[in-house]
C-alpha cells in the first residue's frame, strides 16, 4: 500500500480550501433579473397603462422623435407599469431616457404660474419629484428633488444628456426646444409585487403643445446582492 506523502496531503487541503473560497464567492455574486425592457420601436406597450388627471384610462401614444420611437407625449398624465410575483430580490434599478419638450419653466413661481413638476414613483412613493427648465432665464431643481421649503435651484438643463434637441410643438424645430436626461435610480425593494409610475403637474392644464414629456429605452431590473 502506498501511503500519502505530506506534500500530497497538503496539496489536497489547499485545493479544498481554494474550492471552498470560490464557492463562497459564487454564492455572493450579484444576481439580476430583467423585469422589463422596451425601446418602443415595435409599438408594443408591454403592459404600460396611462391615465389622465381625472383618473380616466388614456390610450398611450407612441410617436417618432429624434429618429426613434418614444412613449408619449404626455401632459397632466400618469403612466403605470405593475409587476407581480417577482423573484427574490433586495433592490430594483429603473433606467430610461426622459425627454422634456418645449416651454418648461422649472422652478418659476408667479402670480399665475406654478413650478413645472415631474415625478417618478415606486409603489406610489416618490423616488424623484423635481422640476425641469428649457428656458435659460429660469432655474430648475433637477438633479435634486424639489421641496417647497428647501429648494436649491440650478441653471436650466443642468445634468442634461443632450440639451440641444429640437422642440416638437411650441418650439418646433428649434434647437434646445427639447432636452434629454438619462434617469437611473437604484433603490431598496424586496416585495413580491412592484408598481412603477411617472406623472406631471404641468400648468396651464391640458397644454400639450406648450410643454410635454416622453420617455424611451425603459428598463427595469430586480437585483439580489
**Rounded to 5 degrees, what are φ and ψ at 97?**
-100, 130
Say what the pLDDT of residue 18 is. Answer: 45
pLDDT-derived band of residue 24, with 50, 70 and 90 as boundaries?
low
Does the predicted TM-score (pTM) go above 0.75? yes
Evaluate if residue 4 carries a pLDDT over 60. Answer: no
Give, in words, the CATH class of 29-224.
mainly beta
Long-range contact set of residues 162-165: C-beta below 8 Å, sequence gap at least 24 = 165/66, 165/99
Evaluate if residue 10 carries a pLDDT over 80. Answer: no
Beta strand 117-122 pairing with 125-131: antiparallel
d(CA 45, CA 52): 17
Return mean pLDDT, the chain. 88
pLDDT tens-place string over residues 77-117: 999 999 999 999 999 999 999 999 999 999 988 777 889 99
pLDDT-derived band of residue 54, with 50, 70 and 90 as boundaries?
confident
In this structure, are residues 35 and 220 in contact, taking their beta carbons and an 8 Å threshold?
A: yes
Higher pLDDT, 111 or 26: 111
pLDDT-derived band of residue 13, with 50, 70 and 90 as boundaries?
very low
Report DSSP letters for 12-48, one per residue. HHHHHHHHHHHHHHHHTS-EEEEEEEE--TT---TT-
Q: What is the mean pLDDT of residues 34-54?
A: 95
pLDDT-derived band of residue 148, with 50, 70 and 90 as boundaries?
low
Half-sphere exposure of 90 (CA within 13 A, CB side): 4
Among the ranges given (12-16, 58-62, 72-76, 86-90), the one the predictor scored with the smallest mean pLDDT? 12-16
Please identify which residue in the block is written with the cell numbers 407599469. Answer: 81
Among the listed residues 154, 156, 221, the one whose alpha carbon sits nearest the alpha carbon of residue 184: 221
pLDDT-derived band of residue 3, with 50, 70 and 90 as boundaries?
very low
C-alpha distance from residue 94 to each of 11, 176, 200 (Å): 47, 26, 18
Say what the pLDDT of residue 190 is. Answer: 97
Strands (DSSP E) found in 39-106: 49-52, 57-58, 62-65, 68-74, 77-83, 91-102
pLDDT tens-place string over residues 196-214: 999 999 988 889 999 999 9
Evaluate if residue 119 carries a pLDDT over 90. Answer: yes
Evaluate if residue 133 carries a pLDDT over 90. Answer: yes
Evaluate if residue 170 carries a pLDDT over 70. Answer: yes
Amino acid at each position: 500500500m502506498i501511503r500519502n506523502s505530506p506534500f500530497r496531503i497538503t496539496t489536497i487541503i489547499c485545493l479544498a480550501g481554494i474550492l471552498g473560497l470560490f464557492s463562497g464567492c459564487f454564492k455572493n455574486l450579484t444576481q439580476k433579473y430583467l423585469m422589463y425592457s422596451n425601446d418602443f420601436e415595435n409599438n408594443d406597450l408591454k403592459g404600460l397603462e396611462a391615465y389622465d388627471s381625472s383618473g380616466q384610462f388614456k390610450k398611450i401614444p407612441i410617436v417618432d422623435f429624434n429618429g426613434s420611437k418614444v412613449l408619449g407625449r404626455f401632459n397632466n398624465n400618469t403612466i403605470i407599469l405593475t409587476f407581480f410575483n417577482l423573484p427574490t430580490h433586495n433592490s430594483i434599478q429603473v433606467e430610461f431616457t426622459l425627454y422634456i419638450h418645449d416651454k418648461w419653466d422649472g422652478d418659476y413661481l408667479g402670480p399665475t404660474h406654478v413650478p413645472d413638476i415631474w415625478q417618478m414613483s415606486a409603489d406610489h412613493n416618490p423616488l424623484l419629484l423635481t422640476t425641469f427648465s428649457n428656458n435659460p432665464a429660469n432655474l430648475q431643481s433637477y438633479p435634486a428633488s424639489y421641496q417647497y421649503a428647501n429648494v436649491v435651484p440650478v441653471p436650466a438643463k443642468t445634468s442634461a444628456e443632450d440639451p440641444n434637441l429640437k422642440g416638437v410643438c411650441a418650439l418646433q424645430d428649434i434647437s434646445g426646444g427639447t432636452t434629454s436626461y438619462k434617469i437611473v435610480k437604484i433603490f431598496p425593494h424586496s416585495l413580491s409585487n412592484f408598481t412603477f409610475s411617472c406623472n406631471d403637474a404641468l400648468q396651464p392644464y391640458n397644454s400639450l403643445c406648450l410643454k410635454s414629456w416622453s420617455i424611451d429605452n425603459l428598463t427595469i431590473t430586480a437585483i439580489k446582492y
